[in-house]
Amino acid sequence: MASGSNSLMWFRKGLRIHDNPALEYSAKNSNYLYPVFVIDPHYMEPDPTAFSPGSSRAGLNRIRFLLESLVDLNSSLRKLGSRLLVLKGEPSEVVIRCLKEWDIKKLCFEYDTEPYYQALDAKLKNHASVAGIEVFSPVSHTLFNPADIIQKNGGKPPLSYQSFLKLAGQPSWAASPLSTTLSWLPPVGEVGNCEISDVPTIKELGYEDFGEDNSTLFKGGESEALRRLGESINDKEWVANFEKPKGDPSAFIKPVTTVLSPYLKVVQKSVKRHTSPPVSLLGQLLWRDFFYTVAFGTPNFDRMKENRICKQIPWNDDEELLVAWRDARTGFPWIDAIMVQLQKWGWMHHLARHSVACFLTRGDLFVHWEKGRDVFERLLIDSDWAINNGNWMWLSCSSFFYQYNRIYSPISFGKKYDPNGNYIRHFIPALKNMPKEYIYEPWTAPLSIQSKAKCIIGKDYPKPVVSHDYASKECKRKLAEAYELNKKLNGRVSEEDLRCLRRKLEKDQNPESSNLKRKKQMLIG
DNA sequence: TGTCCGTTGCACGT
DNA sequence: ACGTGCAACGGACA
């Protein structure tokens, strides 16, 4: 093969062999192909100071999910005559060292819009251009190229889903044929002085083994994703009638996450009667692209300050309330059950996410959305930078959605789907025997009932941290004032302005319901 | 400036 | 299961 040369396929997010243009390209006309994944120890090393088992950035579920995905990727590559080379270190340094060591002429990786990867990729592209290495970095993580959409809109990202749809039009794959399935990959060449390891196990990374109840829930990897997808897609009725908003957040259903694009095409053709966006399956992917586009076009998308699209709101910094929420100790069984599911499974229904996000921020506790975002990012196995931040701004009425008087009730919202409280009983064993009349508000149960259920509120299960009626009214009042200030100052609200507003809000607080009284009320209530 | 609309609110009515 | 009132936001477009 005289024309052939060495290629490096750098895997980051798209840990798959199907529908992977970077991988296909890297295999073309190559003598040797080096499929690489770099483990950044910073991301994987146990952090004993973190609030849950895991590293400083990721919970154990996320790490486990990633490792399973890597094991699966490795086994898929082996079936094609290749294998996954796992290296450790700072990713740009490791990859640059590999490029030299293996005399790479072609570097391939999936294009990524996240700021972290934008910076990383710029470094590598710069190195490659100096070294005369070809870089192939196709857009394959999203249906559209966010940069195209932003350009079409005159340089700014669309801020509503509808305007995004108008700009986006049809995804390019609607007209193109399915990509071919790989049947063979070039061999891996000599690895020289680069230190290659196998995919580490959880134990090798220094973590305790999982309890058996966690180990079978959501297996990571493309094979499992395709299996799940296949199951769903073959159920044509399910696909045709799929409407996300109507899903029951208390049902123990499992998510369809990624790798949908090659299959959706088949779906669209074979299912005649299907719902149309925004509620169809395709609609879900377009939502994903919407958030990617806004995130890409918005500097400081992941914080409130200096974020053009984010309302400046005087959130509080109440560590006690945050921790109660995070550790499932709010005293609201619906909220706490969801947070337990998040801790244990790393996944919960999107409406359940809405409930707890609203509760933490604009609905009840008025804690900064960035705090909740951090908890989700750490614990969710499907967490995604653009979507997570976008949804937190949405739910906290900081951007995209502004009807702050529509508040999810931590009591009645769950009740309408699950009047018996089975979801709560499943995740909060302490409340297992609470009669259904009281299970959403156990603090209202007479003491005799609490005794009979072997669950004394304040001892076996916490009292509510706030009164929802009072707290939600306070939140509405604060948001009204904050919105007024944002309007008055045209969004340019300084830290001093926010401090000033905080003082005003404190002063105007209904004296009958001051902090102290509120706590007393709760003891009685 | 006004009007319509917005992936997923609640409480109460039928 | 669906409709109504509640209270009332910003973005898109005329």
The predicted pLDDT at position A501 comes to 95
Higher pLDDT, A177 or A221: A221
Q: Evaluate whether A364 touches A469 at the Cβ level (below 8 Å).
A: no
C-alpha dihedral over A444, A450, A456, A462, to 10 degrees? -40
Number of H helices, E strands in chain A: 23, 5
Q: Which residues touch strand B (CB under 7 A)?
A: A 160-162, 244-245, 278-279, 283-284, 287, 350-351, 354, 391, 394, 401-403, 405-409, 411-413, 416
Is A285 annotated as ligand-binding? yes
- Answer whether A325's CB lies under 8 Å from A339's CB: yes
Calculate the dihedral angle through the C-alpha atoms of A367, A296, A37, A129, rounding to the nearest 10 degrees.
-140
Check whether A102 has a pLDDT greater than 80: yes
- Domain made up of A319-524: CATH architecture: Orthogonal Bundle (1.10)
> Which residues, including other chains, have CB under 8 Å from residue A225's CB and lie 6 or more apart?
A16, A257, A258, A259
CA pair distance A227, A245, nearest whole angstrom = 24
Nearest nt (C1') from A164 Cα: C12
Give CA–CA dist A422/A339, Å, rounded: 15
Q: How confident is the model at residue A487 (pLDDT cuts 50, 70, 90)?
A: very high
- How distant is C1' of C13 from CA of A170, in Å? 23
Q: Which nucleotide is nearest to A416 (CA to C1')?
A: B10
Task: With CA atoms as reference, report the closest residue to A425 among A253, A216, A252.
Answer: A252
| A62 vs A242, higher pLDDT | A62
The mean pLDDT of A299-311, rounded to a whole number, is: 97
> Do the annotations mark residue A286 as ligand-binding?
yes
Q: Residue type for A322, please? A: L
Residue that wins the pLDDT comparison between A301 and A212: A301
Name the nt closest to A402 by C-alpha to C1'. C9
Is A109 annotated among the ligand-binding residues? no
What is the location of CATH 3.40.50.620 in chain A? 1-140
Structure tokens at A267: 């779906």
Protein CA A89 to sugar C1' B13 (Å)? 64
pLDDT at A149: 94
Confidence at residue A180, expressed as pLDDT on a 0 to 100 scale: 66
Question: Where do you find CATH 1.25.40.80 in chain A?
Answer: 142-178+223-297
Q: CB neighbours of A152 closer than 8 A, spacing ≥ 6?
A: A167
Task: List bases, strand B, within 7 Å of protein CB.
Answer: 6-11
Query: How does pLDDT run across A436-486, given as a tens digit for each residue?
Result: 999 999 999 999 999 999 999 999 999 999 999 999 999 999 999 999 999
Whole-angstrom distance, CA of residue A308 vs CA of residue A352: 28
The burial class, CB within 10 Å (0-12 / 13-18 / 19+), for A212 is: exposed
* Three-class secondary structure assignment of A246-290: HCCCCCCCCCCCCCCHHHHHHHHHHCCCCCCCCCCHHHHHHHHHH
State yes or no: pLDDT of A177 exceeds 90: no
Residue A525 has pLDDT above 50, yes or no: no
Distance from residue A156 (CA) to nucleotide B1 (C1'), in Å? 25
pLDDT digits (tens, 9 = 90+) for A375-391: 999 999 888 999 999 99
* Averaged pLDDT for residues A205-215: 70
CATH 1.10.579.10 maps onto chain A at 319-524
A258 has binding-site annotation: yes
Positions of chain C reached by protein Cβ under 7 A:
7-13
**Is A465 assigned a ligand-binding role in the annotation?**
no
Question: Which of these, A84, A102, A81, lies nearest to A15 by C-alpha position?
Answer: A84
Is A284 a known ligand-binding residue?
yes
Identify the residue whose Cα has the smallest distance to the C1' of B9: A406
Distance CA A418, CA A247 (A): 12
Contact of A389 with A395, CB cutoff 8 Å: no
- Closest nucleotide to A246 by C1' from CA: B8
**Residue A1: which pLDDT band, with cuts at 50, 70 and 90?**
very low
Top-ranked range on mean pLDDT: pick from A12-21, A223-232, A403-412? A403-412
Is the pLDDT at A185 greater than 60, yes or no?
Answer: yes
CA–C1' distance A329–C5 (Å)? 35
The count of residues in chain A is: 525
Is the pLDDT at A267 greater than 70? The verdict is: no
Q: Is A124 annotated in some ligand binding site?
A: no
Closest nt by CA–C1' to A277: B7
pLDDT given at position A510: 64
> Does pLDDT of A127 surpass 80?
yes
CA of A237 and C1' of B11: distance in angstroms? 34
How far does the CA of A415 sit from the C1' of C5, in Å? Answer: 22
Separation in Å: B11 C1' and A302 CA: 36
From the alpha carbon of A160, which nucleotide's C1' atom is closest? Answer: C11
Strand C neighbors by CB, 7 A: A 158-160, 162-163, 166, 402-405, 480, 483, 486-487
Is the distance from CB of A370 to CB of A305 less than 8 angstroms? no
Fold of the domain spanning A1-140: Rossmann fold (3.40.50)
Gap from A418 CA to C2 C1', Å: 20
Mean pLDDT calculated for residue range A151-170: 91
C-alpha angle A200/A98/A80, rounded to 5°?
60
Instruction: Provide mean pLDDT across the span A246-256.
Output: 61
- Rounded to whole angstroms, the distance from the CA of residue A412 to the C1' of nucleotide B14 is 20
Residue A338 corresponds to which tokens in the numbers above?
Answer: 């969801």
CATH of segment(s) A142-178+223-297: 1.25.40.80
